[in-house]
Chains A and B, each alone.
Chain A
Amino acid sequence: MDNISIPVRRIDFDEKIAGKAKYTQDLHFEHMLYAKTLRSEFPCAKINSIEIPEIPKGYFIVDSKDIPHKNIVPIVYDDQPFFAEDKVNYVGEPILLVVGPDKTIILNILKNIKVNYTVLKPILNIKESEKLNKICAEYEITKGDFDSAVKNYSYIVEDEFNTGYQEHIYLETQSMIGHYDGDCVTVYGSMQCPYFIHNSLKQALNYSDDAIRVVQLPTGGAFGGKEEYPSLIGVHAALASIKAKKPVQLVFDRQEDIICSTKRHPSIINIKSYINDENIIVAREINIKIDAGAYAGLSNVVLQRIAFASSGAYNIPNLKIHAVAFFTNNIVTGAFRGFGGCQAIFAIEMHMENIANKLNMDSLELKNKYFLKKGDSSSTSGLFNYDIKLNQIAERIEQMSLYNKKREKFKENTEKLQGIGISIIMHGCGFTGNGEKSVIHTKARLKKNKDNTIEIYTAAAEMGQGVLTTLRKIVATTLDIPIENIKINYPDTLICPDSGPTVASRTIMIVGKLLKDIAEEMKKRWAEEEFEIIKEYKYPQNLSWDNDNLKGNANPEYSWGANAVEVEIDPITYESTIKGIWAVYDIGNAIDERIAKGQIEGGIIQGLGYGKLEVLQVKDGFIQQCNLTNYIIPSSTDFPKIESELISNPFDEGPFGARGMGELTIVGAAPAYALAVQNALNKKISRIPVTQEYIMELMNDKN
């Protein structure tokens, strides 16, 4: 292959298009049983006793007593049980499973189980948690000399923003199959991180490594929702299978999935910019609060990402960032594409616009003055080692969307409520902090066969993002052999080394780079008939991280971009219609332009859903939108076509110049849309989603 970016047929295309791909719900082992979960009905309650009716033969109850080792999900903090024992901390928390051959009988058994609770007072929101000081994680980041800098300001621009929950709505709900054969327990399922589940099984069962196996099946979307959550239910399916001595399938229905799976963190972000008499932003103070829900999960890592990104793609010399994640008795929040970036970029982009308005200048012009460039330092004082082409990105998005002309035109035209907004985007690729350096020891294996075919073994999960195809392409191109000669399959821990979780926009840049290095070595030894190479990823030497003080390169590298959205608002119905969407990204170099475009379009639409449509409220600990009838995600009629471009800026440390992109594509959509509405109405937007109801509220507010 000459140019790696030229699209190829996806390896999983043929079986998916014909409906032949076997997802977890499609797999049927002989004598397979089904499992259904009994869940907490209260946000906070003591379990006094559980009355279980007589169970017919062939049916089983599986609960915490069936866990031979630790009843704690290994994520970051040891706080979340696989099954609740004497207390429940959120609505939907798993208590036990009913397992058996007939789904109707299972439901009947569930109905007749009586849990006797003593209901306790729940913590329902960030405010209540703050009063009780229920802190899950807290970080403080400073850059430059904040205290001296704020001595010389002439005025402050201050804003506070609220962002809501978002539910992933992967089309395939959470699904697992446990399969115990007497020696080894295998978990098959829909997942992003086979080794997270492997570790969880080890923690729950205390089995040896070779008695635990995790196999990813075709996965119907994930978006972060199948990052840490499957660790919980992978163990459930395994425990059920071990007890029943038969394969057990655990598939969530949609309502159950929405009620109990993780969500994007709601946030409150306060930003104060200190501006001197020459209208220069000299310092910035940012306060971030997020709702972690009942257990820590990945909240501390998400919180770090929000904090690191909270000053956006701008070089502000003096920063003080304070970020807190609070425990509540709400649904556990966790990984979701963007991983804190969505909240951070929304807040900072709105804030920059508000500063520009205050200074009576155009926001793009203001932003331009502060764009990060090579040699600048990040919010964590890490050096940006590579070219940052934000000027070029901004120029291109302006040309494509005709932003300047439209802003003028829309201001003059008072007959129609039209607006256009631009967001400037950055997103860290790869794990934050020490992740890539010392926590994950990314390993991959390549095998050369006698017939000159190559086998790729990594833990990279295919969830629709095309990773089986792009990794295959990287190896084929490096070895300069036909792509058909490269074999790759869904990960199976029995044969695939741990290349880390498939998250954090890291796979191409980290695992892809490692595979390229291995393939290069293989190329040198090509004359050997049959051999294999296993290697570990080498962290670039020009990066450093001090985890105690949160100083240094918070991410190995960043990707960049800009989005523009144009809206028209109907003054009678308050409906906002998106008239145009433009996007420019710098992902280094695309491994496959068509797959990259798929990420761009899917990410932007999911981001517009977050910014415009997707309302998920929790009242007294109960989620109010529990199905697809009232939790509204974008359909084909909601948004128009997207005009997008990639800027070429090959990254030396990435394979074929590639950097991460999966999350970059979602973070800028909501602020671009919110800014378009703000500009159309000439009213400050302070929260997302910007729904029709919120627009009505703004238009009826005469202040």
Chain B
Amino acid sequence: MIKTKINFKLNGEEKIIYVDPLKRLIDILRDDFKLTGTKEGCGEGECGACSVLINNKLVNSCLVTSSLIEGKEIITIEGYSKTEKFNILKNSFEETGSVQCGFCTPGMILASEYLLSNNSHPKEEEIREALEGNLCRCTGYNAIVDAVMKASITGDGLW
């Protein structure tokens, strides 16, 4: 198998890997870097459980091949959970009861970050639209929508 050299930044650290250019980013994260906070729920870009940030954009990592991450900066839940913004979201997710089975949660957190970084005080409809690509089968979404709204208030000035 031909392996390609890929340079990229992962959670703030420079990385060089030699991989199959068609290897999926989700597999690189989970298998090569043991970053298992990125979950596989469907493998076809529908559920959002594998959401990561690539150059601050929300992306389903199951649809991204290794060749597409050359020179890019990737943030996963493991990196993001070290930030102050994460703590704001963590608290609001706790207060509203936004975590049940937890499988969609890392993706939801990153989707919330992506929304807030582009729109620091979203309206309810804007939150719903921003989370549309992240499926949750436990909560019915309302708690999560409230959590993002809450975070936008308590985290005023951070985003």
Contact = CB atoms under 8 A, between A and B. Distances in A.
A636 B141 contact: yes
A459 to B, nearest CB: 18
B41 interface: yes
A629 interface: yes
B46 A628 contact: yes
A12 B93 CA distance: 13
Contacts of A10: 94, 99
26 contacts: A10-B99, A12-B102, A16-B105, A17-B94, A18-B37, A19-B77, A22-B36, A23-B39, A26-B30, A171-B136, A171-B138, A220-B39, A220-B103, A221-B103, A253-B43, A254-B41, A254-B43, A254-B44, A463-B101, A601-B141, A601-B143, A603-B140, A628-B44, A635-B141, A637-B129, A639-B141
Contact of A637 (B38, B49, B77, B132): B132
B138 A602 contact: yes
A168 B137 CA distance: 8
A466 interface: yes
A23 B103 CA distance: 8
A552 interface: no
B158 to A, nearest CB: 18
Contacts, number: 162
Interface of A: 7, 9-10, 12-13, 15-23, 25-26, 28, 168-173, 218-223, 253-254, 463-466, 594-595, 597-598, 601-606, 627-629, 633-637, 639, 641-642
A413 to B, nearest CB: 25
B114 to A, nearest CB: 14
Contacts of A26: 30, 36
Nearest to A253: B43
Interface of B: 30, 34, 36-44, 46-47, 49, 76-78, 81, 86, 90, 93-94, 97, 99-106, 109, 127-129, 131-145
A171 B97 contact: no
| Binding site secondary structure of chain B | loop
Given A223-B137, A636-B128, A602 B39 contact: no
Given A10-B99, A605-B140, A636-B145, A17 B135 contact: no
Instruction: List the 7 closest pairs (A to B, CB-CB), nearest first.
Output: A19-B37, A464-B101, A16-B102, A220-B103, A605-B140, A464-B100, A19-B77
B84 to A, nearest CB: 14
Contacts of B36: 19, 22-23, 25-26
A598 B43 contact: no
Contacts of B143: 597-598, 601
Contacts of A170: 101, 103, 137
B132 A598 contact: no
Contacts of A21: 102
A211 B145 CA distance: 47
B90 to A, nearest CB: 5
Given A22-B36, A464-B100, A601 B128 contact: no
Contacts of B41: 171-173, 220, 254
Contacts of A594: 97
Given A23-B39, A25-B39, A628-B46, A639 B77 contact: no
B101 to A, nearest CB: 3
B154 to A, nearest CB: 16
Nearest to B102: A16
A629 B44 contact: yes
Given A13-B99, A22-B36, A173-B41, A641 B94 contact: no
Contact of B105 (A19, A28, A223, A603): A19
Contacts of A173: 41
A653 B106 CA distance: 39
Given A254-B43, A464-B101, A637-B129, 9 more contacts: A7-B97, A25-B40, A222-B101, A598-B97, A603-B140, A627-B46, A635-B131, A635-B132, A639-B141
A23 B106 CA distance: 13
Contact of B137 (A171, A627, A641): A171
